[in-house]
Structure formats: structure tokens, C-alpha cells
Chains A and B, each alone.
Chain A
């Protein structure tokens, strides 16, 4: 099924989910290698975000398996999957609106630093030193995504594009080995999109697997090495950008069948 010699980072096999009578995803297969940049595209309602929700434990699969680093994670609770090393962003941005930009990133390290709670409250020097080291990490992340100037602003007061960047930064703060980006370029201007493309490529170059849902075709085609196309919950095409662009089924899914005018 996969051409990779080593075990892929993430492997979904025959993943199916039904909501009542609706089959949202049917027999979905996908493989993400380490350092891989995989695109997931398809018309609205094709089931792309459903794939993300199955892989991150928001939904439980009706059938099929999700293997992460060789271990089955399908149906496990969301926080347990996140702790295994899968981080994500959301299509409808989910920042912590009551927290500042900096605090959003600090919240992302809450689980990793859970043993520091007592030391921080009691003011132990070792704990305070580790707290400052963590704060420094946050500052580095802020400058990586270009949000240092807005560190103290309320997260919800940022422009749309910056909120997306903050979500990516927040996901990266958990030190994941797989990053799922749900429409990261939405609401960005062409300059911002180009900067984001470079940032995501840079993240993958560090050895992270990246799976991207995106409607901006230029962005996906320039970024990803392999693209999976979904339509009505089924994979209709897998391949490199060129193959996908010239695939008849893909063109039909996006533009419709030529002779279908006037028919029921």
C-alpha cells in the first residue's frame, strides 16, 4: 500500500465513519511519512475535516484503523492522541479568546509541564528557572511566526491571517511529530501565503510529517509532494501535483461533468 521502506509516521487504512445514514468517509487510505508534505483536497463537504477529526480523536471511526508510529490510535480520546505527538489547527479557528497571544502558547505547554504546578505555586527556584526557559521558548516561537509585536494582545483581537499563524505556533509548542493543518492559508493575502508556505516547508524539513487541507490550489501544488483528493467521502485520486491536476475524475469533481447541463 505504501512505497516507503520504513514504517510511515501515520497510516490510515479503510477508514470509514457513518453519522446515522450518512457515510461521511468510506474506505479511506492515507500514509504520511516522516518529513512528508501531504495534501488533502476536495470540494466542500467531501469529508476532509472529518479525516482530521478521526485522526485526532474528535470522532471515533465506524470501521478501519489509524496507525501512528505503528500503534493503533483509532477511537482513543483526543487528549491521549495529542500526547502521542499529533497536533492540529482548526478550520474554524479555535484560539483561547480570553488569553493573550503569549498565553495561548503557554497554555500549549500545560500538559508537558504539568509536574511544575506545585513548584511554581511554592516558588521553588528550579521550577521558576524552568518556567523562564519555557517562556523563552514561547518568545522564539512568536518570532518564528512573526507575532512578537502582538504578544500581549488578546488572541481574538488579531487579524484573521495572524490568528491562523498563532494556531500553527500553538500546535508546534507541543513538539509534535505530526502536524495537521486545516485550511492554514484561508484569509491570508498572497504575500502571507508565500511566507506560510516557506514556514510549513521549513517545519517538514525538521522531520515532522505535515498533512494539509487547503482550498488554495496554487498553495497546495507548490507545497505538497503527494496529494489525496476526496469527493463525497471517497478517495478519487492520489498522486503528485501534476498527476492530480490532469486527472479526469478530479476535474469532474470540481467542475462537474461536461454533458450534464440541463439534465436532472
Chain B
């Protein structure tokens, strides 16, 4: 039994970390309608800053993280969250004046800058990555944090700021005609989203005891984007579902026959393309469509409920 648990410990950790990260992008992409191609960068910023706190800052202050792991984790995670949120804020100020493709290019560029910087700072391991980070987390703490993030985002969407963010996404001119500062909505959504991504990075670093510049890479950014879009970018549960699928599928396919296991990336990509063409609202939208189809409510368009970002 304990063998099974220790085997599952890593996938369970990855599942929750990736879940938080997908939710953080859901706010930016589905909530605020901002296309970010560099979301992994903030994950790395959060991870590195949190690791630097528990490896350098806390011992320097005379506190050994191994004697008070929970407090150390709290301080480190908070530092990671604030650092990545602040980074996101500083990126957002100039970049959010750009629209669509241009914004995507700018965020992608910033992601590459983060990778390059991390590779060249020897104090945090350079290209070899940041090693020997104290193990400060436990799957349970992580899953509770994931639950807290879900509740936070759910309530945020029901709050005045949440409505301002979604109104800005749908129509900036109409939003401004109602007194909403669209710049403020976008900058805040981006900062909160990048902050939460950094929180995921902090947990990742302290669970695996290692983080490398690859964590900020374009490939990672695309993976998160894929999870959110695949699951359904307009709902929290859709994004979570997408994240879980993306983490779980390779684990499951590990046990498949070699013929399938070898070509799993190909099959997976095909499935994603088909799903996007047939159902742009993702798996959550597909679920709603089936649900509404069964209840025969022709006046409501498919996915009418559950497509606005509020459901859990």
C-alpha cells in the first residue's frame, strides 16, 4: 500500500501543480481574453524566487527550513507569488496596450528573456538548474492550495473586479461606457494570473527539490495553453480537466502497447486538433452541449451555461 502511495506521490504532486498553473492561465486567457505565450516564465520566476528564499534568505536569517517546514513553505510560496505577480504587473503595463497576435509575441519574447537570464545566473545553478532545494511540501498541502485557488477564482469571477475583467474581454468600448477602466481590468487579471502561476512554481520547486530554466521554456508555455484550451478556456472546471488529462494521459499511455506508446504524441495532437475544430469551447463545452442536448432546450445555445467562467 505504501509502495502505491509513494509511486502515486509524484504524479499527484504534478497533477495539482499543473492544475494551479492551468487555472492561473484560465483567468488571463478565458477570463480576460489575453493571449499569453509565455505563461511558464512566471511559473519559473515564482519557483526560483521561492527556492532562493528557502535556500538563501531563511538560513541567513537564522531559520532552518527543515525544523519549521510549514512556516518556511508559507514564506517561500508567498515570496514566489508576490515576485511573479509583480513581474507580471511590470510586463503587463507596456504589453497590454498590444492586441491579439502582438501581445502573444511580446509575452513569448519575455518568456525567452527569463530562460536566458536563469541560464546565466550561477548563484541559482545556471544551465544545470537550481538543486538541493529543501523538500517542504506534501501532496495534501498542495491539494488544499489547489482547492483554495479554485474557491478564490470562483469568488473573484462573482466580484465586481471579475465582472469588469469579463466585460473588458467581451467589449472594451462598451466597458468604458460603463465607467470600467479596461487597462486596470487587464493589468489586474494578468498580475493575479501570473502571481498564481508563481505559486504553482513555488510548490513545484519544493516538491521536486529542483527547478531548471526549462521550466520557463516556450514548450512549457504551450503545454499550459493546450491544457486550458483543450479543457475549455471559459470555465474553471474545463481548465482543470484539461490539466489533469495532460498530466494523466502520458502516465496511462506508459502502460499501453509499445506501438501506441511510441506514437502517443501524434495521436494526442490529432485528437486536440479535431476537438478544437468541432468544439471550440473545449471538453467542458462538449459536456454542456451533451447535457443541454439531453434536456432538449433549443432556445439556449449549446454551452450557454458554464461558458462564462463562473462554474467550478
Contacts and interface: CB of A to CB of B under 8 A. Distances in A.
Interface string B190-204: 000000000000000
Interface in A20-36: none
Contacts of A98: 166, 169-170, 234, 307-309
19 contacts: A58-B173, A87-B177, A90-B174, A98-B170, A98-B307, A98-B309, A99-B166, A100-B308, A110-B180, A111-B178, A111-B179, A111-B180, A117-B159, A120-B158, A121-B152, A121-B155, A121-B159, A123-B155, A170-B178
B305 A107 contact: no
Contacts of A82: 176-179
Contacts of B177: 56, 78, 82, 87-88, 90, 94, 171
B83 to A, nearest CB: 22
Interface string A84-95: 000110100011
Contacts of A152: 304-305
Contacts of A120: 155, 158-160
B156 A79 contact: no
Interface in A149-171: 152-154, 157, 170-171
B229 to A, nearest CB: 16
A153 B308 CA distance: 11
Given A82-B177, A121-B152, A154 B170 contact: no
Contacts of A111: 160, 164, 178-181
Considering the complex of A and B, which 6 residue pairs feature the smallest CB-CB distances, nearest first? A111-B179, A78-B176, A96-B170, A94-B174, A120-B159, A82-B179
Contacts of A57: 176
B161 A117 contact: yes
A110 to B, nearest CB: 4
A108 interface: yes
A107 B178 contact: yes
Contacts of B307: 98, 154
Nearest to A100: B308
Given A82-B178, A98-B170, A153 B304 contact: yes
B257 interface: no
Contacts of B309: 98
Given A113-B160, A114-B161, A87 B178 contact: yes
A99 B304 contact: no
B176 A77 contact: yes
Contacts of B162: 117
Nearest to B164: A110
A231 interface: no
Given A95-B170, A153-B304, A154-B301, 20 more contacts: A58-B173, A79-B178, A79-B181, A82-B179, A83-B179, A90-B177, A94-B171, A94-B173, A95-B174, A96-B174, A98-B309, A99-B166, A99-B167, A100-B305, A111-B164, A117-B160, A121-B156, A123-B155, A157-B300, A171-B177
A108 B178 contact: yes
B284 to A, nearest CB: 14
Contacts of B159: 116-117, 120-121
A103 interface: yes
Contacts of B308: 98-100, 103
Interface residues of A, number: 42
A111 B160 CA distance: 7
Contacts of B167: 96, 99, 107, 110
A103 B160 CA distance: 11
Nearest to B301: A157
Interface residues on B, range: 20 to 34
Contacts of A83: 179
Nearest to A103: B308
Quick one: which of A83, A110, A114 has the most chain B CB within 10 A? A110
Quick one: which of B176, B301, B307 has the most chain A CB within 10 A? B176
A106 interface: yes
Contact of A116 (B160, B175, B178): B160
Contacts of B170: 95-99
B182 A79 contact: yes
B163 interface: yes
B263 interface: no
Contacts of A157: 299-301, 304
Contacts of A171: 177-178
B168 to A, nearest CB: 9
A174 interface: yes
B179 A106 contact: no
A153 B176 contact: no
B9 to A, nearest CB: 32
A130 B155 CA distance: 15
A65 to B, nearest CB: 21
A219 B128 CA distance: 75
Interface string B270-312: 0000000000000000000000000000011100110111000
Contacts of A79: 175-176, 178-182
